[in-house]
């Protein structure tokens, strides 16, 4: 049985390129900065999706990205 080396912890940091801006958006309390944080997270996620587009691996990361995008949509809707 082969295990994926994907991880969503900071120790492995494979998701770090989009997870950090995502977490910053989730934690932002300033409404003016929130929109910028959401946009930065969406951009980082989009860049990562392009980077892994041709790779059939990364199932766990793709699921984490779907969850993150869903959370960002809710955050954006509630901040308007």
How far apart, in Å, are the Cα atoms of 35 and each of 12, 13, 59, 65?
A: 29, 25, 28, 19
- Token look-up 């869903």 returns 70
Element (H, E) at 39: helix 31-51
* Between residues 32 and 14, the one the model is more confident about: 32
Query: 15-72 pLDDT, tens per residue?
Result: 889 999 999 999 999 999 999 999 999 999 999 999 999 988 899 999 999 999 999 9
Does the pTM of the predicted model rise above 0.75?
A: yes
Six token digits for residue 72: 């960002």
HSE, CB side, 13 Å, CA atoms: give it for residue 1: 1
């Amino acid at each position: 049985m082969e295990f994926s080396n994907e991880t969503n912890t900071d120790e492995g940091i494979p998701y770090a390129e989009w997870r950090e801006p995502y977490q910053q958006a989730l934690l932002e309390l300033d409404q003016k900065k929130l929109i910028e944080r959401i946009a930065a997270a969406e951009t980082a996620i989009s860049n990562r999706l392009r980077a892994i587009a041709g790779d059939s691996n990364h199932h766990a990361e793709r699921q984490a990205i779907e969850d993150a995008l869903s959370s960002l949509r809710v955050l954006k809707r509630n901040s308007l």
